[in-house]
Structure 1
Amino acid sequence: MSTPTTEALKMPADQTAAVPRPWLLLLGLVLVALNLRPALSSMAPLLGQVSHDLGLSGSTAGLLTTLPVLCLGLFAPLAPLLSRRFGAERVVLGILLVLAAGIALRSQLGVVGLFAGSILSGASIGIIGVLLPGIVKRDFAKQAGTMTGVYTMALCLGAALAAGASVPLAEAFGHRWAMGLGFWVVPALLAAVFWLPQTRARHGAHHARYRVRGLFRDRLAWQVTLFMGLQSSLAYIVFGWLPSMLMGRGLDAAEAGLVLSFSILVQLGSSLIAPWLATRGRDQRIAIVTVMGLTLAGLFGCLYAPLGGLWFWAVVLGLGQGAMFAVALTLIVLRASDAHVAANLSSMAQGIGYTLASMGPLAVGLVHDWSGGWNAVGWIFAVIGTLAIIAGMGAGRSLHVNVTSEKI
């Protein structure tokens, strides 16, 4: 059965009106993408202070880092439904405003506002994240690969800026963590201003619909989905918990945030290079093992190695995770026989994968609560990494998912 996400991703470029001022659309896309990670990565450096001030246990803090990631998967199916009703451009604008409201809310009203705002933020990111690739495919069909790279780099840059700047911002406003979190309303509203002209552009609405059968019964599709979810789980553990782990080893909050920010910045380069390298061989299995090995080495180095080499391990972690995310996205395209199958596989990998990924940050919080420290968290890294390699060895084979795509 065709999923709603399919309809949001497959509108062909030749059935749309010419895009007025494409440079303005490009700028708008970059600014919107920059706002799809700060709500996630700004919390991590301030989590210790937030937990202390609000009396959150490790398990509750783990839930706080889990909820936004869970919402990425749970709310993604709303995107195409809203898009068909109001148009993709208008939905992006409206959801940007909801995102800004969520960011503002989590810095107000104590624990209730913190969790409600986190849910709103995660839901908003999940919806926009489904719509932007469809807009890229529709309006930049001939430059889709390049634009996807630009989109990925903007995601990483936004995450890095929030991870590195949140603590200094909180300190600048009188050591108030609420200001460090709430500041990210500003770039969200700025993106909304630059996106506003796109809501007046006219795009053709008529397009053929396709049904893809058998995806959820296909073993390869599940391997792609599991690899996406498991590697994302490690990524969101880093977003949510790495600064707390480093502070547990003796770093202050500002330095711990800078380490995370620096590691994410390293991802900018590897996320661009990895897809090209991964497609040079017969399949992607060697690439998957390599990038997961780098990721695990970086995680274990940050957790256990002497602090004198911390920045080196942050580089290794960034190289691994940037490449791993890019390879996971590439697998969706390579394992699909046509664009319609790719859209359905993307929907499956994103919805189920991100829901699975949300369990990683929660597990870290529970284990930290149980053990009273961070050393036992290494077992979580090892288990997730091993399972990701197993799934990746299947997903990396040079095959297509065995499904049928038919016009309805």
Structure 2
Amino acid sequence: MTQTDVPIDAASSPIPRGRPGRGAALLSAYVGIGLLLIALNLRIGVASVSPVLSSIRRGLGVSASTASLLTTIPVFAFGAFAFLTPVLISRLGLHRLLGLTMAAAAAGIGIRMIDSPVALFAGTVLVGAAIAVGNVCMPTAIKRDFAHRAGLMMGLYTTALFVGGALAAAFTVPLEAGFHGSWRDALGFWAVPAVIAFLVWVPRMLRSPGRVPNTHRVLDGTAELRDEPSLRRLLRDRVAWAVTGFMGLQSLTYYGGLTWIPTMLQDAGTSAHTAGVLLSYSSLPGVVAALAVPAMHRARPTWLIVAVSTLLCIAGFAGMLVSSTGELPWLWMTLLGLGQGAAIALALGYIVQRAPDAQHTGHLSTMAQGIGYLFAGFGPLGLGVLHTATDGWGIPIAALVVLLLAQFVTGAGASRERHVLRP
């Protein structure tokens, strides 16, 4: 083994291996809580926009397609900035970088409060970049720090994503009312949880990660393996493409619904507040599904959970065409929440399960989320264009159903128990 072939996982892990003592248990609990607080903020910056999208349209005097850029730009940023994450990790360290994402997210949310369209979109780009880096880092951190409890932590991670999105969806409209109709102040409020996560994580950030001798890399980074799991090699791997395709398609349908379901409900006569509550409510069954998925990973055939989640999503979206008023939307949002919760948990879980170690996880996470989110960014934008062109929601929802069928095909491929870069 050369000096640059330091075993990164063993050298940089903040949680002592072997029989845990009281100190190790406390450190493990602290790191786990810190990671979940960071995860809580990885949807808030996007989910808080949808409930007040109509107010933003009126305030800026723009079309639906233009307003949808506020939810489309972050998703594109998730993909574009994901490819920069490995370089940032190798220079700054995984845990230090996670803390910096929270500082950047808080700054981006704060910039959006400035009374300027340029600031609004610039802040949105910064929020998207911060979330992108956090998205890629989290599976790697979980694989490294909680390899013995990766399934549980991935379930809690997905739950935290849903809880963050639910809080933003439910309380942004009441916050707007509380701030005398100011949607800028309502959006700006969500910098608070990002600041809290940053402050909690500061002690972990201040711990020196050390450096690999004779290199610019830190020990708390993702090094190249001796078999070099580069993006070029992953691009030729069927397992990696199945994971990437499933991540991209489920993200497209998720963010497409997150962006336009409140508007769809409001077009049917539902108040903005009720539409936000319905969107927030869908996260509750989503949490249940996300927590249940790790316990069902041994189900046979392996694609069965993928099929169930797909059918639930199709039923939820199709139901919106049947009736978007009265009590039925609660049923549709229940079905949709269950389906999306299972799909997101599966997509994130496959990144960890299809990689043999933390380094492979980091590279696969970069590919799946980089390419996947770049593709998913066309979801909110495409649905907005279809809605504007057809002046209705029938064609947009039909397009979502077709994409959900493709989502099942890729998910079935990703569900097969294999590792990337293995025969």
The offset of 1:167, in angstroms, is 0.1
Aligned equivalent of 1:258: 277
Shift of 1:15: 4.6
Match of 2:316 in 1: 298
> Does the alignment pair 1:169 with 2:184?
no
- The aligned amino acid for 1:294 is L
- Distance in 1 (CA, whole Å) between partners of 2:148 and 2:237 is 31
Select which of 215, 220, 224 maps to 1:209. 224
Percent of residue pairs identical: 41
Aligned to 1:349, what secondary structure does the other structure show? helix
Give the corresponding residue for 2:216. none
Aligned to 1:114: 120
SS at match of 2:382: helix
Q: Which moved more, 1:12-21 or 1:241-250?
A: 12-21
Q: CA deviation at 1:27?
A: 2.5
- Taking only aligned residues, the RMSD between alpha carbons, in angstroms, comes to 2.3
Aligned counterparts of 1:98 and 1:338: Cα–Cα separation in 2:
29
State whether structure 2 residue 248 is matched by structure 1 residue 229.
yes
Give deviations 1:238-261, integer Å, cap 9, x for gaps: 221111111111111111000010
- TM-score norm. by structure 1 comes to 0.90
> 1:62·1:363 contact (CA, 8 Å) conserved in 2?
no
* CA distances 1:67-93 after superposition (whole Å, capped 9, x unpaired): 101101110122232222222333223
Assess, with a 3 A threshold, how the Cα gap between structure 1 residues 66 and 337 changes in structure 2: closer, same or farther: same
Which residue pairs with 2:19 in the alignment?
A: none
CA gap of 1:272–1:202, structure 2 versus 1, over 3 A, is: same
Range with greater deviation from structure 2 (315-324 or 301-310): 301-310
Partner of 2:293: 274
Amino acid at match of 1:119: V
Distance 1:333 1:186 in 2: 30
- The yes-or-no answer on 1:12 pairing with 2:9 is yes
Contact 1:13/1:141 (<8 A) preserved? no
* Equivalent residue, structure 2, for 1:154: 160
Relative distance call for 1:337 and 1:166 in structure 2 (3 A) is same
Amino acid across the alignment from 1:286:
L
Distance 1:85 1:392, change over 3 A: closer
Tell me what 1:345 maps to: 364
**Aligned letter for 1:267?**
G
Deviation at 1:40, TM superposition (A): 0.7
Task: State yes or no: 1:362 paired with 2:377.
Answer: no
**TM-score (normalizing by structure 2):** 0.87
Distance, in Å, in 2 between the alignment partners of 1:88 and 1:171 is 39
AA aligned to 1:135 is A
Structure 1 residue 225: Cα displacement: 1.2
What is the letter of the counterpart of residue 142 of structure 1? H
Q: 1:261 to 1:98 in 2, by over 3 A?
A: same
Question: Cα–Cα, structure 1 residues 11 and 194, in superposed 2: closer, same or farther, change >3 Å?
Answer: same
Stretch moving more, 157-166 or 99-108: 99-108
1:368–1:377 CA contact under 8 A, matched in 2: yes
Q: Deviations over 1:9-57 (max 9, x none)?
A: x941465455775233233222211111111100000001101110111
Partner of 1:137: 143
Flag the 1:115–1:327 CA change in 2: closer, same or farther, 3 A.
same
Deviation of 1:398 (Å):
4.3
Cα offsets for 1:178-232 (capped at 9, x unmatched): 1211110111111111111112224454466310263212333222211110111
Matched AA of 1:178: R
What is the aligned partner in structure 2 of residue 83 from structure 1?
Answer: 89
The 1:171–1:265 alpha-carbon spacing in structure 2 relative to 1, beyond 3 Å, is: same
Alignment size in residue pairs = 395
1:288 lines up with 2:288 in the alignment: no
* CA 300–110 in structure 1, closer or farther in 2 if over 3 Å, else same: farther
Report the Cα distance in structure 2 between the residues aligned to 1:98 and 1:333, rounded to whole angstroms: 26
Runs of 4+ in 1 over 6 A off after TM superposition: none
Kindly state the Cα deviation for residue 328 of structure 1 after the two structures are TM-superposed. 1.8
The one-letter code of the counterpart of 1:296 is: I
How far 1:344 moved relative to its partner? 2.8
Counterpart-to-counterpart distance in 1, 2:104 and 2:331: 38
Contact 1:51 1:57 in 2 (8 A): yes
In structure 1, runs of 5+ residues without a counterpart are: 1-6
What is the correspondence of 1:384-395 to structure 2 with a 5 Å cutoff?
A: 384-395=403-414
DSSP 3-state at the match of 1:150: helix
Return the letter of the residue paired with 2:261.
L
Residue identity in the other structure for 1:12: D
Provide the rounded CA distance (Å) in 2 between the counterparts of 1:278 and 1:296.
22
Judge conservation of contact 1:68–1:118 (CA < 8 Å) in 2.
Answer: yes
Aligned-partner SS, 1:376: helix
Match of 2:59 among 53, 59, 67: 53
Measure how far apart 1:63 and its partner are.
Answer: 2.2
CA contact (8 A) 1:246 1:303 kept: no
Is 1:44 the counterpart of 2:44 in the alignment? Answer: no
Aligned to 2:215: none
In the alignment, the residues of structure 2 paired with residue 300 and residue 64 of structure 1 have an alpha-carbon distance, to the nearest angstrom, of: 26
What letter corresponds to residue 344 of structure 1 in structure 2? H
Distance 1:169 1:13 in 2: 46
1:96 to 93, 102, 107: 102
Q: How does 1:316-335 map to 2 (within 5 A)?
A: 316-335=335-354
Residue 191, structure 1, aligned to residue 197, structure 2? yes
2:144 is matched by which residue type in structure 1?
R
Give me the whole-angstrom Cα distance separating, in 2, the residues matched to 1:341 and 1:18.
20
